[in-house]
Amino acid sequence: MIIIKFESWWVERGRCLFDEKRQGGAKMGWDVLAIKLTADDGTEGVATCMAARSGGVTENYLHDSIAPVVLGRDPHDREAIFYELWNVDRHEAFFPVFLPGPVDVALWDMCAKAAGLPLHKYIGSFRNRLPVYASGNFHSTVQEYVDEALYYKEKGILGYKAHPGGPLEFDMEVHAALRKAVGPGYPLMSDPVGEYTLGDAVRVARQLERLGYEWFEEPFRDFELYKYTDLCRTVDIPIAATETTRGCHWGVAQSIAQRAADIVRADVSWKNGVTGTLKIAHMADGFGLNCEVHTTTMNYMDLANVHVSCAIRNCKYFEYFVPEDQYRLPMKGDLPIRDGYIYAPDKPGIGAELDWELIGESCHSYRCQTL
């Protein structure tokens, strides 16, 4: 197989999911790009890309810097393409964190389809399902967090992660109210996407320990390794980090080497695709750490996450970003969640379809390059 066509569709989601505090003064679109690679035998590889803040940036990077590397290549040469794109990035492309992972996903999708195997079987399967926790957005009141957690618990979802938006006292109130509402034993996590001081993070971590939370995630920016190291050394609750760490497995390796995380994070959008996420997960496994796979904010790519998570041992949960209807476009249908578990599709490749009719209706622009 040789890749002979590279297509993209810029799809407008028509909404912004961040409040004014997190949106800032700059435009915060929440669009996506659908991409399709086509081989000379007709086999297709499909993925979606984030286009937050600027769809034009995503579109131009794809066509100016990535498509020329991919066209004319055998899609099985994923490792060579992975390293060539890193070389391009280092020499002043400086890809956004959410690129070029989706292109790598499309390569894996194409090859798994050609092999007639679901992606997790093509990688090498460990299981076919994962327990699900609901992961909500930022809310302005404590009651909104409680209502959200109870809603998904009643739907059979097996855990809940809050994103309390500060200040510190509000976050701690959210934590206590959630535990009281869902009762003992129900898995809870907290991810403030925070800028805590070290002292404040210790205070919150101690509270979460008393409340029996599963983990405490991202209380600092991921590059603040000294704070993470001190926090991990000081408290007992597992500290999850590296969600936004740059440099794929090389970047995560620094956190592991500095003992700056008890749980590492990766996903196929922000950590250079299936190839990059597998590198991180296998490295973490060698150190006895879990790699909890992070939502891509796109249901189609989250199914790629499911396949990767089912091909590794050291991932406990699937992160279910809710409410789901905000993240479905442009995939057809819902995520395959039953009885609190998500199941890897059993069709070849990723095993889901994009809604190409809707993509055509919602398309801001279309670009195509051919060999």
pLDDT in tens, 245-299: 999 999 999 999 999 999 999 999 999 999 999 999 999 999 999 999 999 999 9
- Residue 15: per-residue pLDDT: 57
Complete domains list, the chain, with CATH: 3-116+355-370 (3.30.390.10), 120-347 (3.20.20.120)
- Cα 119 from chain centroid (whole Å): 17
Residue 43 has pLDDT above 90, yes or no: yes
Longest dimension (CA), the chain: 60
pLDDT in tens, 88-124: 999 988 999 999 999 999 999 999 999 999 999 999 9
**38 three-state secondary structure:** strand
Return the closest-CA partner of residue 47 out of 303, 294, 361. 303
% residues pLDDT > 70 (the chain): 95
Residue 19 has pLDDT above 90, yes or no: no
- Residue 218: per-residue pLDDT: 97
Which tokens go with 221? 């920016």
Categorize the per-residue pLDDT at 27 as very low, low, confident or very high, splitting at 50, 70 and 90.
low
- Residue 51: per-residue pLDDT: 87
pLDDT in tens, 212-237: 999 999 999 999 999 999 999 999 99
The answer for residues whose C-beta is within 8 angstroms of residue 344's C-beta and 6 or more apart is 118, 119, 120, 128, 129, 303, 306, 307, 310, 351
Which tokens go with 255? 């956190």
Can you say whether the dihedral through the CA atoms of 70, 76, 80, 86 is positive or negative? positive
Full DSSP string of 315-345:
---EEEESSGGGT-TTBSS---EETTEEE--
